[in-house]
Amino acid sequence: MLKSMNAIEYTEVDEYSAFLPERFRALVRPPTDSWWTWRSTRVHIARAADPSAAVRVMVIHGAGGHAGALWPGAAVVAAQGAEVFAPDLPLYGRTEVRDPGNIRYRDWVDLLCELIVAEKASDPRPLILFGASMGGLLAYEAAARTGIVDAVVATCLLDTADVAAREAAARWAILGRNAPRTLPVIAKVAGKLRVPVRWLTPMSAMSNNPALARLCASDPLGGGGRIPLGFLADWFTFAHTEPEDYRGPAVTLAHPGADRWTPPQLSERFLSRIAGPTNAVRLENCGHFPVEDPGLTQLEATARSVLAAVARS
């Protein structure tokens, strides 16, 4: 059951909003909070409710992110006439987890699928999934599995079955290259051990703005936290839906063009294999965390176009 509490002060929204161009900062409004119980986990969901909106958008973060960090971008989407909500996945944000050492990547997939079903049952309006960073492939996977999503937008489609993608994802290329062999062995004896995210991923490449990269890396709700080795082992070995077998809705890739973490070509290579309609946009001048113009304006236009297409259909 979804419960609204409306009590949290989202101070981090102002911190992240400060990096947006002035025009976009004016669009940001703080979210309200709600909670959803999933298994033994109390899931926090930030929301911008709009009963008059024709379309709803679920914003999905990746490793090192959370709803509050992505809310400035979510608010830009809401300003286009959509109702927006963003869950904090276990280990991040304000979601309360009983045993964080046991959280695995497949838990994120299962949670998102069940949340989509619950949201559609309570509100049948069309639903778009917007995945940022690692959340892009999560959005793709959840859309493929549930079959009830109307569109997918992703800033990244990082397929860990691709050795080049693994090398880009890890702090050291050799770690990512060998992860499917080494991490499961380590996880058998130390799977619950939680290590700082920055030890294993190049958090300095999160943004081309050094101050924003530092904020992401030190945020206790996001990149400043710890993650179980078992989660990483599961992510690097998880079998996603093969793009040739994908039967979900249209996928739009809006990849940052100046991404120093995950090069656009990696995501575009995965996109080119997807069965069904796709579209690709490179966000000019944007780093992995897209806050720069003109790319942010291009992302706004892309969101508006997808929203309009879904509303028409």
- For the stretch 223-282, pLDDT in tens is 999 999 999 999 999 999 999 999 999 999 999 999 999 999 999 999 999 999 999 999
Tell me how many helices (H) and strands (E) the chain has.
Answer: 12, 11
Please give the structure tokens belonging to residue 6: 């409306």
Phi and psi at 55, nearest 5°, equal: -135, 145
Strands (E), the chain: 2-4, 32-38, 41-48, 56-60, 83-87, 127-131, 151-154, 194-196, 226-228, 251-256, 278-283
Bridge partners (DSSP) listed for residue 188: none
Question: For residue range 163-175, what is the model confidence (pLDDT) as tens digits?
Answer: 998 888 887 787 7
- The domain limits of the chain are 2-160+242-312
How far apart, in whole angstroms, are the C-alpha atoms of residue 304 and residue 290? 17
Question: For residue range 122-136, what is the model confidence (pLDDT) as tens digits?
Answer: 999 999 999 999 999
Cis peptide before 126 (omega within 30 of 0): no
- Cβ atoms of 51 and 100 within 8 Å: the answer is no
Among the ranges given (3-12, 204-213, 239-248, 298-307), the one the predictor scored with the smallest mean pLDDT? 3-12
Per the prediction, the chain carries an average pLDDT of 94
pTM: 0.95
**pLDDT band (50, 70, 90) for residue 303:** very high
Supply the pLDDT for residue 168.
86
Q: Higher-confidence residue: 201 or 258?
A: 258
With left for phi above 0 and alpha for psi between -120 and 50, is residue 212 left, alpha or beta? alpha
Residues 6+ positions from 178 with CB-CB distance below 8 Å: none
CATH class name, domain 2-160+242-312: alpha beta
